Homo-oligomer: A and B are copies of this chain.
């Protein structure tokens, strides 16, 4: 049994913490906005007085919070996690945040004698509940070995991609490809529809060839059937592409199509679509063209 400080009992975090408790671990937390969910409280998840107290009480601290500033605040605010760390503890960040900032956070945590593992996930609420998350891990070999038994309780496809930061880097790469594959399918279906072809038949004809992708399988169908309930919300993908573009700028690389995809997401948000599924990106192209893929 490990004592785990778990910060961020939201839509993703609550079911993840539940799996840890069910496996016999002790989970402590300090909540920011909402109280500890009742079912977790019943199972013994304990609220402590501060993040500092959580770090002091725990062997391992796991965070899953919205974005880079929240991770920074959880770790380094007054009475934050860092203030309660002592040598030999392990910090695992399962949020999706900046790879560059991750490396800086890990250095400050290392200065306290603690290992740091970045382990963002994909698979959403469904994957969190089913303990079938994909977990992309950046870590030292020691850090990975120590975190792995906990990851096994929460996920299925667990890859140690590389050194600290590589997990976040992989998650950003994933979100770049997914956004641009959605944009690709949107351009192609719009072209086909405007030219008078049936987009559903075009999609069928392209499946299995070089154009085939998970996005052609799933998101193209949403565009054709006009089912834009999330899924994965445009506002979350905007956050991820912001990470991509900010880090690209800091590293000195150009991501022209990621930039365009972000502008298209921005346009969707301007038209009230921030909570649409990310396949709703097609609507921005449709507005530009004054033509819909399907009605």
Contact = CB atoms under 8 A, between A and B. Distances in A.
A191 interface: yes
Given A165-B195, A181-B181, A187-B176, A253 B212 contact: no
A214 B210 contact: yes
B253 A191 contact: yes
- Range class of the A interface residue count: 35 or more
A191 B255 contact: yes
Contact of A196 (B166, B206, B209): B166
Contacts of A172: 191-192, 195
23 contacts: A100-B195, A136-B205, A157-B208, A162-B197, A162-B201, A163-B196, A165-B196, A166-B196, A166-B202, A170-B192, A170-B205, A174-B206, A174-B209, A177-B184, A177-B185, A177-B216, A190-B255, A194-B251, A195-B251, A210-B214, A213-B215, A253-B291, A254-B289
Contacts of A185: 177
Counted per complex, copies of this chain come to: 2
